[in-house]
A and B are shown apart, each in its own frame.
Chain A
Amino acid sequence: MSGRRSRSRQSGVSRITEDQIADLVAKLQQLIPEIRSRRSDKVSASRVLQETCNYIKNLHKEVDDLSERLSELLESSDGAQADLIRSLLV
């Protein structure tokens, strides 16, 4: 993925263009559910960045909650069920 775009890492002067950044911001905008549902093209970059940060923080928190839940479940359940689940998943 890092090699997809032309590398802008020149030595000395950077050639990061506005279009590149706007493109990336637009792509990011599509991923964030809050902005995607608004359907407005006039979302500022600052807003997109803000929502991105919030979204990542939310996802981190969800992962933390889930890992807490999983740790409790792991302690209570025994190994037979883990094998059963594994056979279901694979």
Chain B
Amino acid sequence: MPSSLLSPNPAVNPDRSATRRRKNKIQREESLGNISQQQNPPIQWKSDAQQQIYSSKLLQALRQVREGNCSPAQKSAPRRVREAADKVLAATAKGRTRWSRAMLTNRLKIKFMEKHNIAKRQQSVITAVTRGNSRSTKKSKVRILRLKTKSLPAVQRKTRVLSRLVPGCRQQPLPVVLEEATDYIAALEMQVRAMTALAELLSVSGTGSGSSSSSDGHSHPSSSHPPTN
């Protein structure tokens, strides 16, 4: 079929590293998003489809956590689960938001730092990956201008706290922080929903494993004793 020969998307090379493949996928998806839909629509975190995507990816990651134990055994198990959940959340966001990109690069940064301990190179990597946001000098100008309208120190303080809470937004001006925060909150809510559902499933199946109950509900509860006189 000539259309397949002329298709612009080459097949994904399997022998590329995972991070490069992810970056290629992000760039390609973003360019596709620009062409077909207007300008990178934000992820609908409330949709069930997103939650399903996240849940399946999370399950894969959790199984790796359980079996692989690839991370050094310094971290406790809940910490590993949390990191896996965050990593999958950032991956589900497809790198369209700053916080997801910051979360993804944070993992790489920590691993890199543990190996090579090069602090300065981290700064350049982070600024390069977060789309050239190296505006440390201009940030002070932005802040001074903002002081004219928001001279209340309370608002500034809370803005700073908020920018610390949302990953990747420490040096960002206020509107960027607010935008990132809205997306981040929606993503966190979805993460909570998905993990709750997963925990419920696991706990239910865990307690019901002894009686080898099937997944659909029985008409009679298995724990009730038969009525004896």
B192 touches A4 (CB 8 A): no
The total of interchain contacts (Cβ-Cβ below 8 angstroms) comes to 175
Separation in Å of the A62 CB from the closest CB of chain B? 5
B206 touches A63 (CB 8 A): no
B145 at the interface (CB under 8 A from A): yes
A40 at the interface (CB under 8 A from B): no
Which B residue's beta carbon lies closest to that of A66?
A: B195
A27 touches B182 (CB 8 A): yes
Q: Which residues of B contact A13 (CB under 8 A)?
A: 141, 145
A14 touches B184 (CB 8 A): no
| Alpha-carbon separation in the docked complex, A55 to B165 (Å) | 11
B149 touches A2 (CB 8 A): no
B195 touches A70 (CB 8 A): yes
Q: Which residues of B contact A79 (CB under 8 A)?
A: 63
B63 touches A59 (CB 8 A): no
> Size of chain A's interface in residues, with CB distance under 8 A?
57
Separation in Å of the A13 CB from the closest CB of chain B? 7
Q: Which residues of A contact B126 (CB under 8 A)?
A: none
Q: Which of A1, A13, A78 has the most CB of B within 10 A?
A: A1
Binding site secondary structure of chain B = helix
Contact of A2 among B65, B158, B174, B179 (CB under 8 A): B179
B182 touches A49 (CB 8 A): no
Whether A81 contacts B205 in the complex (CB less than 8 A), given A2-B96, A59-B192, comes out as: yes
Q: Which residues does B use to contact A, with CB under 8 Å? A: 39-42, 52, 55-56, 59-60, 62-63, 65-66, 76-82, 85-86, 96-98, 135, 138, 141-142, 145-146, 149-150, 152, 154-155, 158-159, 161-162, 165-166, 173-176, 178-179, 181-186, 188-189, 191-192, 195-196, 198-199, 201-203, 205-206, 209, 215
Given contacts A27-B182, A46-B155, A52-B162, 7 further A-B contacts (CB under 8 A): A31-B186, A45-B150, A56-B185, A66-B199, A74-B81, A76-B206, A89-B59
Q: Which residues does A use to contact B, with CB under 8 Å? A: 1-5, 8-9, 11-14, 16, 18, 20-21, 24-25, 27-28, 31-32, 45-46, 49-50, 52-53, 55-57, 59-60, 62-64, 66-79, 81-82, 84-86, 88-90
